Chain A
Amino acid sequence: MTNPDQRILHSLERDPSRFLDVWLGEQAASGTMRRDLISEAELRTQSQAFLSALIAALRSGVPFEGGSNHPAWSGVRAQLEDLSRQRAQRGFSFSEVATFVFSFKQPLFSALRESTDGGTELAEASWEANVLLDRLGLYTIEVYQRSRENIIERQRQEMLELSTPVVKVWDGVVALPLIGTLDSERTQIVMETLLQRIVETGSTIAIIDITGVPTVDTLVAQHLLRTVAAAQLMGADCIISGIRPQIAQTIVHLGIDLSGVTTKANLADAIQIAMERTGMRVERQAPGRTP
């Protein structure tokens, strides 16, 4: 037997079902097993599928190189990808994911010891097994990492969309409560959403409420001013409300010029001035009268 992979294959093929049991026992004993996140039966199915795919790939005689795209290994890769993706979504940690592959070592070495005569042959086979499993382990982690990044990216996108609601306050008045930090990308979305809603509702006044914006630096102010300028070009006036005392101090210290924009300390004042400008009036009813 010249190809060391064949020794691994040979030892796996001797008794796959017993091997599977030993491996599952190893995973269960590893201490990083998450019974709360994955059921025994599911783990068994996954392990079984991986083992079959690995045996099939080893039979092809093609060696597994790091990131190997060879079709012979596509089954193994698919198994590991599914597993990593699923575990990333369920909230497994790095080591808990890696254990799946690394716990394979112990039973494999035992199996190799039984199927070889010991000595040099065993040492060689062990080394080969080690290299193979390390590569598979690294591959698993890479996919896991990518899945995590995808999840984070998707959540970021959702946050962007969620965080820009434009609400209609009154006929001809829309309000945009801004929450969180304003960066260039968000400003762009905020601007587009606001202008679109101004057109849809035919509003002449837009209130931008920055109560939820933690800090205002020159960049944020510039973004705000650009939004105001764009709204003005379309024929809508902007009022900036929710300026907290600290923010007012920062704006003056930074020398930001907001003189071209109407600013109010809170949303109520902004709504009142918007009402006045659109010719509305809110007044308290005479006491004793009920609506």
Chain B
Amino acid sequence: MERIPILKLGDLLLVTIQVDMHDRLALTLQDDLTTAIVAHGARGVLIDISALDVVDSFIGRVLGNIASMSRLLSAETMIVGMQPAVAITLVELGVTWRHVRTALNVEQGMRRLRASLDGPRA
């Protein structure tokens, strides 16, 4: 079965979505990611969606749910690289993400995530 790889980078998890997201795949990712957060004790999750051209309300909601679930497992979620068209679509669809932070690209997202994870401790 098709799966989206989850990479471990220290206490962060990196997910880059390179294929068309369909509903089943999104739910599989949700399962895998929550399992991986617990298994590795990850404190941050970075999801790169720069290759996604199309996002529907379901995928939008699943991404939001993943963030809320991660938060319950005490990991922060950063979604990076959203295409302008996707951003407009999500706003038109009225999708609101409460626990998601965003950044323009992986590099920036990584820096922001690091800063906020290291910040409170220092």
Contacts and interface: CB of A to CB of B under 8 A. Distances in A.
Contacts of A230: 84, 87-88, 90-91
A195 interface: yes
Contacts of B96: 229
Interface stretch (A70-78, A102-110, A196-204, A213-221): A196-204
Nearest to A236: B104
Contacts of B102: 232-235
Most chain-A Cβ atoms within 10 A of its Cβ — which of B96, B97, B102, B103? B102
A199 B84 contact: yes
Contacts of A267: none
Interface string A234-247: 11100000000000
A236 to B, nearest CB: 7
A231 interface: yes
A229 B90 CA distance: 9
B82 interface: yes
B108 interface: yes
Contacts, number: 53
A226 B91 CA distance: 6
Most chain-A Cβ atoms within 10 A of its Cβ — which of B80, B88, B102? B88
Contacts of B86: 233
B108 A231 contact: no
A191 interface: yes
A226 B80 CA distance: 19
B59 to A, nearest CB: 13
A118 B83 CA distance: 80
Contact of A204 (B81, B82, B104): B104
A134 interface: no
A230 B91 CA distance: 6
A241 B91 CA distance: 22
A195 B87 contact: yes
A196 B96 CA distance: 21
B34 interface: no
B91 A204 contact: no
Interface of B: 80-84, 86-88, 90-92, 96-97, 102-105, 108-109
Given A188-B88, A203-B104, 15 more contacts: A191-B88, A192-B84, A196-B84, A198-B84, A230-B87, A230-B88, A234-B82, A234-B84, A234-B87, A235-B80, A235-B81, A235-B103, A235-B104, A235-B108, A236-B104
